[in-house]
Amino acid sequence: MLRWVRQQLGFDPPHQSDTRTIYIANRFPQHGHYVPQKFADNRIISSKYTVWNFVPKNLFEQFRRIANFYFLIIFLVQLMIDTPTSPITSGLPLFFVITVTAIKQGYEDWLRHKADNEVNGAPVYVVRSGGLVKTRSKNIRVGDIVRVAKDETFPVDLVLLSSDRVDGSCHVTTASLDGETNLKTHIAVPETAVLQSVANLDKLVAVIECQQPEADLYRFVGRITVSHQTEEIVRPLGPESLLLRGARLKNTKEIFGVAVYTGMETKMALNYKSKSQKRSAVEKSMNSFLIIYLIILLFEAILSTILKYAWQAEEKWDEPWYNEKTEHERNSSKILRFISDFLAFLVLYNFIIPISLYVTVEMQKFLGSFFIGWDLDLYHEETNQRAQVNTSDLNEELGQVEYVFTDKTGTLTENEMQFRECSINGIKYQEVNGKLTPEGFSEDSPDGNRHSLMKEEELFLKAVCLCHTVQINTDQTDGADGPWHANGIATPLEYYASSPDEKALVEAASRVGVVFTGTSGDTMEVKSLGKPERYKLLHVLEFDPNRRRMSVIVESPSGEKLLFTKGAESSILPRSKSGEIDKTRVHVDEFALKGLRTLCVAYRRFTPEEYQEIGKRLHEARTALQQREERLADVFNFIERDLELLGATGVEDKLQEKVQETIEALRLAGIKVWVLTGDKHETAVSVSLSCGHFHRTMNILELVQHKSDSTCAEQLRQLAKRIKEDHVIQHGLVVDGTSLSLALREHEKLFMEVCKNCSAVLCCRMAPLQKAKVVRLLKTSPEKPITLAIGDGANDVSMIQEAHVGIGIMGKEGRQAVRNSDYAIARFKFLSKLLFVHGHFYYIRIATLVQYFFYKNVCFITPQFLYQFFCLFSQQTLYDSVYLTLYNICFTSLPVLIYSLFEQHVHPHVLQSKPVLYRDISKNAHLGFKPFLYWTILGFFHAFVFFYGSYLLMGEDTSLLGNGQMFGNWTFGTLVFTVMVITVTMKMALETHFWTWINHFVTWGSIVFYFIFSLFYGGIIWPFLHTQDMYFVFVQLLSSGSAWFAIILIVVACLFLDVVKKVLYRHLQPTSTEKAQMEEDKGSVSSACDFAESRHRGEDSRQLLDPSSLPDSSYVH
């Protein structure tokens, strides 16, 4: 227990040594001094609270808020000293605020617990006591042997022991971890690969020693010691043996592996950032305003205390005949009396700090967040998914975004490649109904309906079918005839590939008659129009980013040695000596302009002597211990020359719908878009161009392939210089992961300067934590911009958690991103509606709500301060304590809450079609110092009008009551309070643009409720109240005609100037938003007619209706 406490406090780290020893199947040694190591359990925790720490942790977080802490102090002061108002006046609102907030945060955390329990409770199979036992994911321990079947996700980090294949290999996709959709091959050590049954595995005696958990996905160092009869065999373990949690088993029936890292120690969990409390810019502004109001409050309290003692310096005012001091008061310390008076004034004026502001904001955020889920425009019909809100605290932050960081694979693209066109021997072809048709030919034309392939076409398709790293789903080839029917027509094979391009090309070739049917050992089998051909694979010249091509050397059935090469046109065309080079170059440019990903294909025949020379050189380079990479590059260059060009291919990476329009809209709204991807440089650039992130007219700058600090710095300086020289045109920047690490280490400022001057930035080959580093770098730059990260895989989680706002895409790559995001949407295109409509509305609503709250509290407490000048600073309260308590809770709370839920100052369709309106609210424009100053001065002005207006009209006249009685101080205070409630409610009505029946009900209902409540409160003697100062006061006040006249006159005087100011500003200095409002008003008549027509046609509400035909396309009121 003591050790656990020490660990929790951070004094005793759980891992003392650098390595961990794992006994497979938990067979611990029976002898010797074995000390069992403590490992984490396999639970994943994304929640913030537990049942035990919820109350203390939540209270601590809530009292970190200035207003809550301040009211707690005031409440304690009221309990300790004799103050003018009851402790209930501040205690009750405080209790209400704390309770409502705790319920909201508890509910949100319960949803996280529910999601965690779903993951932790997933069924898994573990080998125990000689059999397979079904258990829950959270019960897996380090050392357990786990069975995983095809298409299942690995529940822990496993070391592969065996698979259903003899060689112990399996194929895995890590798309949800690093965004790469290619299949990775993992291999078991030979000693365990043969143990393919549960019974054999149960007899295995082995020990694994490996490093302690670390976040790097691509690094694993360990060794396995297998006890085989009497000897012990030691084998090294590397990343190829480790199956990561979150990855998915593909193309393999089942595997067995031993758990080495569990729960929060898995590499996936270590790549999550710790969940910190995100706070919006509005909340930070609120805290600044609260500090200013605290200063105003302290100033008023100190001034009142000083004036009280200045006044009492005169004998007659210090102790008047009607208020003689007691003996105790005369002898008490002057300093203590001064402090006591200061605290009493503090309590009297404390309502200038609006405690109910926080609870209203919490309710507004919580209730407002439902609109996102209800919005049919954010509903994706194909997948039946609607938008999801995980954290409602950041709604208004959606209206403040300046940078969007997006993943590529599965976020911008559908992650589906489609073959579109190719060029063979200088002729362009398209695929029409499973046939290659030359451009200009139709199926009906004489040459269009051919059943055979020309020699060049067949050679080109064979090159495509042989030069790749594609694998075949072995489950399909188990039948007697394999994948072939008697007539030679293939049932479609399921291909897996290291790149989606290769998969698309091999699939296209199979559709037009040349089918790759698999590899066995070093033989590749191809069927050309049903005729099988076997090629012996002699060498693979792997792809690398410098060469930008890959090659294979094969031996054809006739014994010829052939080289097939494919790669970027810039690396193939200069090395070609024959073939239609010029025509192909033109075709490649045409494909690229259409946004297709292009590859050129070429070949070369070797004479026996040439091949012998090549084989010798390759062997020497591959076995070299020094400078192996450089030697291999030289040999590859020697081999890949004098090529004969066969043609080029054009493949489309299917972008998600409306990605281009969304990125363009974000740019118009003044938002910079950065694409952060784990993909290859060329792939990433190609997608950036096709999705409109990079324009063809942009000058694309590159910071890639840097190995040393000095070259990286030099390149950065050159880029900065180029940007300064060519400042007229737009620049796009491409950075890769290694160069980024170097740039961030020493040259952060220079790198940031280059980035900020570029319109678009693309970072490729990024590790998950590097993505988060880039986001943090911008977040903490001097301008402190608001950032948004959007992604769909577990590799995006750290970036999503780092950004101010994190958005998960409900894609094909698991649910990690969605679970750890603040908001989740089904498609990238929904981002524009989320920011431009929901974000805009939420920000406008909450900005008005915050400022209005401060305004109405200044109106509320300033007359109290002014009243002290008329009562010798005796701390006499102007309002009754019930009114003090209910002013913020009942009388003025609902109109502003309803405004903050339903207000739409501009039609949603206008906001979405004019992204430029988003700039009007950027950089916290509505909560800056100027608007804050305006609302504060307005509050003081209205308070002076309430107090002195009432005083001038009613205060001096003593016979205005119907029965000839004089006005008392309670009657005067009630008059001021009545004027105030009506004015602040009407002020809210003036701010409202979008009126619903609910707005009308709460606005006029609040005023009516105040009158009815006051009549009941003052008209009845309540037995539970020990004093009833207000008895019949309100009834008497309303019986006076002049009081009614005063109320109307003062309310009009307050609001008249406000209306004049609004009208003048709208016509003389309108903002873009106000211009849009005026245009909308002009078009409202025609849109009403359209609405009537569309209702008549009875259109389906689920359809994406033309928003101009609806009063509101987003919300159901």
Residues serving a catalytic function are: 407
Spell 360-382 as b/e; 16+ CB within 10 A means b.
bbbbbbbebbebbeebbbbbeee
Helix (H) or strand (E) segment spanning residue 136 = strand 131-136
> Identity (one letter) of the amino acid at 609?
E
Partners of residue 131 on adjacent β-strands = 128
Which is nearest to 303 in space by CA: 351, 245, 256, 349? 349
13: buried, middle or exposed (CB in 10 Å: 19+, 13-18, 0-12)?
exposed
> Identity (one letter) of the amino acid at 908?
P
Which is nearest to 1040 in space by CA: 1091, 974, 1099? 974
Q: How far is the CA of 956 from the CAs of 722, 879, 959, 972, 1035, in angstroms?
A: 77, 19, 9, 11, 20
Q: How many CB atoms lie within 10 A of CB 279?
A: 14
Is residue 799 within 8 A of residue 676, CB to CB? The reply is: yes
Q: Tokens in use for 849?
A: 């709500």
Query: How far is it, in rounded angstroms, from Cα 21 to Cα 27?
Result: 12
Query: How far is it, in rounded angstroms, from Cα 771 to Cα 789?
Result: 10
Q: Tokens in use for 145?
A: 């042997």
Phi, psi of 789, rounded to the nearest 5 degrees: -115, 140
Query: How far is it, in rounded angstroms, from Cα 195 to Cα 164?
Result: 10
The answer for residues whose C-beta is within 8 angstroms of residue 334's C-beta and 6 or more apart is: none
> Identity (one letter) of the amino acid at 143?
G
Q: How many CB atoms lie within 10 A of CB 619?
A: 12
Q: Return the HEC string of 227-253.
A: EECCEEEEEEECHHHEECCCCEEECCC
Per-residue DSSP letter, 709? H
Query: How far is it, in rounded angstroms, from Cα 194 to Cα 188?
Result: 9
Is residue 157 within 8 A of residue 267, CB to CB? The reply is: yes
Query: How far is it, in rounded angstroms, from Cα 764 to Cα 768?
Result: 11
**Residue carrying structure tokens 């209005």:** 852
Q: How crowded is the C-beta side of 1034, counted as CA atoms within 13 Å?
A: 21
DSSP-based three-state secondary structure for 92 = helix
259: buried, middle or exposed (CB in 10 Å: 19+, 13-18, 0-12)?
buried
Which is nearest to 656 in space by CA: 886, 857, 888, 825? 825
Query: How far is it, in rounded angstroms, from Cα 4 to Cα 14?
Result: 9
> Could you give the residue ranges of the DSSP H alpha helices within 869-996?
881-886, 893-902, 908-913, 929-950, 969-991
How many residues in total does the chain contain?
1117
Q: Tokens in use for 1053?
A: 């005087």
The answer for residues whose C-beta is within 8 angstroms of residue 586's C-beta and 6 or more apart is: none
DSSP-based three-state secondary structure for 553 = strand
Phi, psi of 97, rounded to the nearest 5 degrees: -60, -50
Is residue 420 within 8 A of residue 504, CB to CB? The reply is: no
DSSP-based three-state secondary structure for 789 = strand
Per-residue DSSP letter, 326? P
